[in-house]
Amino acid sequence: MATSVVTAERVLFPDVPQPALEVALEEVFAESDCIQVADAREWIQARLDALGYADWSIESAGGAEDARCVVAGLMTVHHVVLLLPAVGRDVIETMDGVREGLMRRCLGREEAIQFVSSVLTGIGASDVAVRADPRGPQGGPIGQFEAIRSHVAAGCFVYSGMPDGSVHLWGRH
């Protein structure tokens, strides 16, 4: 009976916003720059229990179980809190400085990888992969794209982003 009620709620009210749960998740993730999957599960489950969300579950997207950090998203239609792999705010903020550093110097592929890896190790993020694949993402901030393209044309490597949780560098190979 309880299962059919839950199923009916999901079918009848698939897009019901969950502001209390959204606030609870914001509180969980505001407490740290980087939350590991086990802690996220524990803290989110405590919030679900406190809010009376017994029909909600916590699931992990591909790579979240092994990720350095996770973030969470709500899939209200399915009553699921989905954990997604993330690198952490500390890495994201550090990469802004790395972007600038790579633009001030002209580093080749190996030098750029070594530079970025040493910066990541310095902040305790040595487990974040650094990639310089010629078919990887290419780009940068919109207002700087011409300067970036010129830097790459000169044989230098630049930081292009972290679309998959790895640091991607762009340059000519």
DSSP 24: H
pLDDT at 14: 53
pTM check: above 0.85:
no
- For the chain, the domains span 2-86, 89-170
Q: Report the DSSP pairing between strands 80-86 and 57-60.
A: parallel
Which single residue is written with the structure tokens 């350095």? 68
Q: Tell me the mean pLDDT per 10 residues along the chain, length 173.
A: 40 66 91 90 96 95 88 91 89 92 96 97 90 83 88 94 87 84
The interaxial angle of helices 109-122 and 89-104, nearest 10 deg, is 140
Other C-beta atoms closer than 10 Å to the C-beta of 18 total 16
Q: What is the rounded distance in angstroms from the CA atom of residue 67 to the CA atom of residue 84?
A: 8
The pLDDT tens digits of the residues spanning 118-153 come to: 999 999 888 889 999 877 788 788 888 899 999 999
How many CA atoms are closer than 13 Å to the CA of 124, on its beta-carbon side?
7
Q: For residues 14, 17, 23 and 24, what is the CA-based torsion angle, rounded to 10 degrees? A: -30
The interaxial angle of helices 89-104 and 145-153, nearest 10 deg, is 60
Instruction: From residue 84, give the alpha-carbon distance in Å to each of 26, 31, 36.
Output: 15, 17, 11
